[in-house]
Amino acid sequence: MPHNGRVVAFFRNIVGARIARPLPEFVHNFGSAHLSKQRKNARSGGQAGRKKRMKMDFKLEGRQLIWDYLLLTVGALLTAFAFAAFFVANDIAPGGVTGIATVLSSVTGLNVGLLSFLINVPLFAIGWRRVGVRFAVRSFISMLLLSLFIDLMPEFDLAGNMMLAAIFGGVTMGAGLGMVVRAGATTGGTDMAAMIVHEHLSMFTVPMVLFTIDGIVVVVAALNFGVQAGLFALIALFVSTKTMDSVIKGFNTAMQFLIISPNQEEIVRRIHTEMDRGCTRLEATGTYEGRKNGALLCVVPRMEASRLKKIVSECDAHAFVTVCDVHEALGEGFSYRHIS
């Protein structure tokens, strides 16, 4: 392997630059057009071209790495803020290691961040081999940052009542955890614990173990802080899970249309001319009459969905149309991002 190839391979193995997640558009656009142009020029040139392409990939992966750790840090900061401003003051323990630490803090008087760190360290020590070096290193850094941020932030009650604390704390924590996951990490050792349990007791899946741990934490919180605090912890856990799911899936939402109509040519023409969008023809056969009908697959931004519905209804009032949500759309007409 050439010297440059060994350097790139070493860098990827140590810091995990082979990223499976897309760059946010505003980060990717910063210089990506220039890199693409350089890549085109590098395609023809033999060994020199290969070296140049490798250099371009290295630059892009370096940017992705910086973005990942920035996202990880902001995510840990938001999660810590949720505990400092909403959860700790209201005795809400929404599952996970930090939830366990919140309960133990009320009993021992020790800081939540310190307890969270002490619980996480042995779990990481046991489970890091099962998740890989890159994931373990990033997760340990995010866990360390979260523990530090929680203890450095002064505790205060921003919401004023437990319901608002559970809802807004859940949203804030979910957003933070979602950012950490998008950066290829996690903030707690419960993931490690779940993997260890699954490895020895394969009948229990990882999600089942995580759900059980969170349930135990909520029950213990209810016994320690009261039933009402336990119920609010459930609300916070539900809200944070939904928010985290939205952040992980992305907010670049779109709508997917499947259109079956004999007037396809007119529909396609108007989509092209009036919306400046494309679509894909699919072969379709109706099972009831065995009639062959083409189908059109079209993905548009959510704001353009009503416009497409109007075009289809004007071209064919009897067209069969299904519409479903698309969590993220990449490519021409939406966003260009580096996917490796």
For residue 207, count CB atoms less than 10 angstroms from its CB and return exposed for 0-12, middle for 13-18, buried for 19 or more. exposed
pLDDT reported for residue 251: 66
For residue 11, count CB atoms less than 10 angstroms from its CB and return exposed for 0-12, middle for 13-18, buried for 19 or more. middle
pLDDT surpassing 80 at residue 171? yes
For domain 254-326, say whether CATH 3.30.70.120 is its number. Answer: yes
> Mean pLDDT highest for which of 104-108, 179-183, 230-234?
230-234
For residue 211, count CB atoms less than 10 angstroms from its CB and return exposed for 0-12, middle for 13-18, buried for 19 or more. middle
Burial 216-249 (b: 16+ CB within 10 A, else e): ebbebbbebbeeebbbbbbbbbebbbebbebbbe
Q: How confident is the model over 269-307, as pLDDT tens digits?
A: 999 999 888 889 988 877 777 777 779 999 998 888 999
pLDDT surpassing 50 at residue 252? yes
Three-state DSSP class for residue 298: strand
pTM: 0.65
Which of the four pLDDT bands, split at 50, 70 and 90, describes residue 192?
Answer: confident
Query: Where do you find CATH 3.30.70.120 in the chain?
Result: 254-326
CA distance 222 to 227: 5
Which of the four pLDDT bands, split at 50, 70 and 90, describes residue 327?
Answer: confident
CA distance 133 to 146: 20
